[in-house]
Structure 1
């Protein structure tokens, strides 16, 4: 990339200093803390105990539990598959709902609500899904759009809140669980919380650190907010991550072995740092510009807004061909953004953000579309045809939310540009 070997080495290692890489890595450390301290399980059980007396309320408790864990858990496999699923899987047997003839009593409802909800929460925060941060970085390199933690959350908030309100109610209407009163779930959750004992020091510490980190991400790295207190806009996201990780180690929430032994966290760190550098290399060598100029030529005569819709649809529904959101983002997003840059009048930054916010949502469409999907598909409560039908239906709902809510909000809302 450079005639000077020293500059070439500096470029090759540049991805390891990218703030989005460290933001994702820090969220992985929070996931370790949730698991080690037991805070994630306690939050889920408390919401079930509070809202689970009616079956519909139980659905909202499941959705809110996932939402509470999403800002600090960048893997829906860990969040939904590792924390939420072990809890909800114990609920159906309380009502005689078993895979097969009894799944309709309540099992299908709680399983699908949990799965459909995590697809929504995965799009609500930059730290809620592994590829979100990397996609934001790629969008910045390709279109110049700059999005921080708060901008990302606010940009999807109207659609996210609407969908989280709809998912439990719509799932209830479609799946029609035969159990309306779920009081036994409340009693079970109460017993589980009693068995856990009082809130531990590690849980209090973990909760405080997560809230502090989110606060610093929101206020410390967003100079455009014009916040009035000293130091606002001066903290780098990497600084926040290092401070939080150091505090978790020093206060005993996680151990050094936890930090060094999490292969998924370090694997993602190395993988994304390398991919972002390679993506930058494609741009520097002129390949992206060359590809955009030639591949976008047939689109020049089309209406730019219709072209944007068509390209977003291509990005979203082509996920049927992928078994990983991460691989989809890394393979398809650069192509879509390159095409967008070559179409006169097309709002490339808008398309970039719509695609980024689509990453979590597209995980709902198939039994293999995202990391936790096979877990729910194998539960026995969601038959193969049922899963595909619900995935297609909710996929259309989520895609409509991108076009009907996210797009207008990003166009007229006060959160970016």
Structure 2
């Protein structure tokens, strides 16, 4: 028998080439090539045009992902195109040498250890068996779990994988039918609790290290971890609670839950005795968590403390050799590493200086008042999120180049701008706009939330964000990160 065989199952099929993602990618790449070779913009040199064309081409692959290709394809296009444009490899790959990326890698492995060991499930079902079953009680458990898991890992992906699976088990145990209001209420709030609360502090989500990495060096020095929490902590707590309250009254069924506390206790007992791996993960994560507030005393940065925790998991084999390659998404790591260097590339290639007049006009218009700036920039970012499916990071990288002007001329602190990025990045009107939605739906397999209820929840989120901007403006003025009257 021939030991070689032909398997074309995974090879792209002819009909796929005429699908919408392929067509859109092809057309956008043509736009990029047009900019790169025909140089249509006056005042932008050859390098600037070529880099702009490269960015558009990479965005085409990142946005539409034809054939389900990984982010790495766009990353390679970006890397090769920028180097061919005249930038050095050290300039293009500068994001890989930043501390933000090296905070990200151990943090993702921490989340993987939390999931692999089963500690995340144990914590969740322990809390569930401790309450009297009710919709309000379950929602409070999600809030506690979302906040607690955010302290243990900034990986939103890991958190919602754990909480979505658990919420499905809870909804099934409660005999809530598919597409019912109660089922949507339980699962949507579990999903949201994995995303919303942790955004309020630097290490609670990937937004902290990634967005800070976008900032120019002089802005990074003043956008400290402590100030991130001071600016965003209370607003994100308000957003989370307001979202939960409104969703509860919007989706609350009239009938009570048909489940007992004993049923939750039985689900907890099914997990068995606590394992050695769970103990190691718990002790390690708590030690790292307790060390983070004492960075100055220890003489270590956040990423150094996080990195020290990783060898413990490797030495104790909580994370095995095979997990290094599969435990976290290196595709996402490569994407973040490249995109973190995008602001400097935009500046070095001359795109930032060329776009300065347009950017200046927009800034002048928005800075008529503090409220105009906050709501105006948020709505612009919301609109742009419909074409930037990379959680808004591509747009955020470009807008980060304007933070020195906003700070020096209008006294708007860069953490305010980053906060608006987090608001836009969390938007979830469509599944293509928010990759965490299709990932969660792949777990639920059409037995989760009702899509209509999810759209209603997205509208609630957008409305709560605008309300937050209005309510917290005096607070941001009081702590000195922006004035009530910018030009006053």
Global fold match (TM > 0.5): yes
Checking the alignment, whether the CA contact within 8 Å between 1:119 and 1:364 is kept in structure 2 is no
Match of 1:89 among 168, 178, 182: 168
**Structure 2: segments with no counterpart, 5+ residues:** 1-46, 48-86, 483-488
Deviation per CA, 1:366-398: give whole Å up to 9, x if none.
444433323359644533333222211222113
Question: What is the deviation of 1:49?
Answer: 1.5
Question: What is the deviation of 1:176?
Answer: 1.8
From the superposition, tell whether residues 320 and 267 of structure 1 become closer, same or farther in structure 2 (CA, over 3 Å): same
In structure 2, the partner of 1:161 is 237
Q: Residues 244-255 of structure 1 correspond to what in structure 2 (within 5 A)?
A: 244-255=309-320
Question: How far apart in 1 are the matches of 2:460 and 2:445?
Answer: 20
In structure 2, the partner of 1:53 is 133
Q: Residues 242-391 of structure 1 correspond to what in structure 2 (within 5 A)?
A: 242-262=307-327, 264=329, 266-297=330-361, 299-300=363-364, 303-305=368-370, 306-325=372-391, 328-329=392-393, 331-339=394-402, 344-345=409-410, 347=412, 349-359=414-424, 362-374=426-438, 375-376=440-441, 379-391=446-458
Question: How far apart in 2 are the matches of 1:78 and 1:371?
Answer: 13
From the superposition, tell whether residues 138 and 73 of structure 1 become closer, same or farther in structure 2 (CA, over 3 Å): same
Question: How far apart in 2 are the matches of 1:69 and 1:180?
Answer: 28
Question: How far apart in 1 are the matches of 2:307 and 2:405?
Answer: 40
From the superposition, tell whether residues 378 and 397 of structure 1 become closer, same or farther in structure 2 (CA, over 3 Å): farther
Checking the alignment, whether the CA contact within 8 Å between 1:39 and 1:203 is kept in structure 2 is yes
Question: What is the deviation of 1:243?
Answer: 0.8
From the superposition, tell whether residues 320 and 404 of structure 1 become closer, same or farther in structure 2 (CA, over 3 Å): farther
Q: How many residues align?
A: 390
Question: What is the deviation of 1:111?
Answer: 1.5
**Matched position secondary structure for 2:103:** helix
Q: Residues 146-295 of structure 1 correspond to what in structure 2 (within 5 A)?
A: 146-181=222-257, 183-184=259-260, 186-220=261-295, 223=296, 231-232=297-298, 234-262=299-327, 264=329, 266-295=330-359
Question: What is the deviation of 1:339?
Answer: 4.9
**Matched position secondary structure for 2:177:** coil
In structure 2, the partner of 1:226 is none
Question: How far apart in 1 are the matches of 2:422 and 2:90?
Answer: 31
Checking the alignment, whether the CA contact within 8 Å between 1:49 and 1:189 is kept in structure 2 is yes
Checking the alignment, whether the CA contact within 8 Å between 2:242 and 2:464 is kept in structure 1 is no
Question: How far apart in 2 are the matches of 1:207 and 1:175?
Answer: 35
Question: How far apart in 1 are the matches of 2:132 and 2:107?
Answer: 29
Question: What is the deviation of 1:188?
Answer: 2.9
Question: How far apart in 2 are the matches of 1:409 and 1:140?
Answer: 26
- Of structures 1 and 2, the one scoring higher in RCO (CA 8 A, sep 6+) is 1
Checking the alignment, whether the CA contact within 8 Å between 1:283 and 1:289 is kept in structure 2 is yes
TM-score, normalised via structure 1 length: 0.82
Checking the alignment, whether the CA contact within 8 Å between 2:115 and 2:158 is kept in structure 1 is no
Question: What is the deviation of 1:209?
Answer: 1.4
Checking the alignment, whether the CA contact within 8 Å between 1:322 and 1:369 is kept in structure 2 is yes
In structure 2, the partner of 1:228 is none
Question: What is the deviation of 1:34?
Answer: 0.5
Question: What is the deviation of 1:33?
Answer: 0.6
Whose radius of gyration is greater, 1 or 2? 2
Checking the alignment, whether the CA contact within 8 Å between 2:112 and 2:328 is kept in structure 1 is no
Question: How far apart in 2 are the matches of 1:161 and 1:252?
Answer: 37
CA RMSD of aligned residues (A): 3.1
**Structure 1: segments with no counterpart, 5+ residues:** 2-6, 224-230
Checking the alignment, whether the CA contact within 8 Å between 1:55 and 1:182 is kept in structure 2 is no
TM-score, normalised via structure 2 length: 0.71
Checking the alignment, whether the CA contact within 8 Å between 2:163 and 2:194 is kept in structure 1 is no
**Matched position secondary structure for 2:414:** helix
